[in-house]
Amino acid sequence: MGFFDMNVQDRVVFITGAAWGIGQALAAAFLDTGARVAFIDRDGQAGRAAEWELATRGNVRFIEADVSDEVAVALAVEQVLDRFGRLDVLINNAGLCLRKPLRELSLAEWQRVLDVNLTGAFLCARACAGELMRRKGVIINIASTRAVMSEADTESYAASKGGLVALTHALAVSLGPDVRVNSISPGWIDVSVWRPGGFQEKLSEADHRQHPAGRVGVPADVARLALFLADPSNNFLTGQNLTLDGGMTRKMIYQ
């Protein structure tokens, strides 16, 4: 029995950072399966706009909250349970990227990135753990290929995503067998159509050709993998990080 065979109208998915980009695409994909979706974002204006757009697909609720705020996260989870009565899937997608030379990177800036990308996932997992254990639920963390490879001036982002991959297998061991926990590490994903305004970014043939898969990724690629991980029939898959990058991290580059 697969995800699409389940009584999905009763399943509730909680997504962080879904006002635009990959998060909004994830919300749309789960709504299209018949699931109910709650999402949080610190950008209230963008979140309300996304809620209005997503409402055409199904039952959705936006909650304005910062994932790095312990109290706000706990209150958000309470609101989800009050609204929907259950919680089956948590997707930790909220993320912040700061590119700044190491010698110019302040401790506060470093800490802010880790607070959102890593501590936020911990806070949400902790707040949802009890309900997810009761429901035999799923946690999906959206990490990044930057956990294993880097561009210059991305220390805080790389460290946070590496930590998120490690948090994934730690949670899988601690919460198993009741809760399965996996992470997705996307590579280059073109999120331009899921930005406010929705204009398609123009990519070159070279941009696509450098990927062994022959193209740059799109948010739907991430959504399809998340649906697979959320499928209850895939209950032997836990504690893993799945790289979704069109093969780029396996490509040797010579100059």
Reported as a single tens digit per residue, the pLDDT across 83-105 is 999 999 999 999 999 999 999 99
Q: Residues of the chain with pLDDT > 90: what percent?
A: 82
DSSP 120-189: HHHHHHHHHHHHHHHHT-EEEEE--GGGT---TT-HHHHHHHHHHHHHHHHHHHHHTTTSEEEEEEE-SB
Tokens coding 213: 């898969």
CB 19 within 8 A of CB 45: no
Helix (H, G, I), strand (E, B) or coil at 95: coil
The string of pLDDT tens digits covering residues 113-162 is 999 999 999 999 999 999 999 999 999 999 999 999 999 999 999 999 99
pLDDT (tens digit per residue) in 42-99: 999 999 999 999 999 999 999 999 999 999 999 999 999 999 999 999 999 999 999 9
Active site residues: 157
List domains and CATH numbers for the chain.
11-250 (3.40.50.720)
Sign, CA torsion 13/27/33/79: positive
DSSP three-state, residue 72 = helix
Please say whether the beta carbons of 162 and 229 come within 8 A. no
The residue type found at 98 is L
